[in-house]
Amino acid sequence: MLQDFALFPLAQREVLLGTRRRAFVPLTILALAMATTAAGLAPVPVAFFAAALGMIVSRAIPLTDVYKSIEGPILVMLAALIPVSDSLRTSGASELVARWLGDAASGLPPWGALGLILVTAMAVTPFLNNAATVLLMGPIAASFATGLGFKPEPFLMAVAIGAGSDFLSPVGHQCNTLVFGPGGYKFSDYPRLGFPLSLLVIFVSVPTLLYVWPVR
DSSP-derived secondary structure for 60-113: SS-HHHHHHH--HHHHHHHHHHHHHHHHHHHTTHHHHHHHHHHHHTTT--HHHH
Q: Is the pLDDT of residue 133 over 90?
A: no
**In terms of C-beta distances under 8 Å and separation of at least 24 residues, what long-range contacts does 144-148 make, across chains too?**
144/98, 144/101, 144/102, 144/105, 144/113, 144/117, 145/113, 145/215, 147/98, 147/102, 148/102, 148/105, 148/106, 148/113
Question: Which of 21-25, 48-52, 75-79, 127-131 reaches the highest mean pLDDT?
Answer: 48-52
Reported residue count of the chain is 216
The average confidence (pLDDT) of the chain is 79
- Region 102-129: what's the mean pLDDT? 82
Measured between alpha carbons, how far is 95 from 199 in angstroms, rounded to an integer?
27
**Would you tell me the crossing angle of helices 130-147 and 153-163 to the nearest 10 degrees?**
150
pLDDT at 94 over 90: no
Q: What is the pLDDT of residue 110?
A: 86
Rounded CA separation 158/102 (Å): 16
Most confident of the ranges 82-86, 160-164, 186-190:
160-164
Res 87: pLDDT: 74
Q: Give pLDDT, residue 125.
A: 80
Has residue 118 got a pLDDT over 80? Answer: yes
> Residue 163: which pLDDT band, with cuts at 50, 70 and 90?
confident
Residues in contact with 17: Cβ distance below 8 Å, sequence separation at least 6, in sequence order: 1
Q: In the structure, what pLDDT confidence band is assigned to residue 67 with cuts at 50, 70 and 90?
A: confident
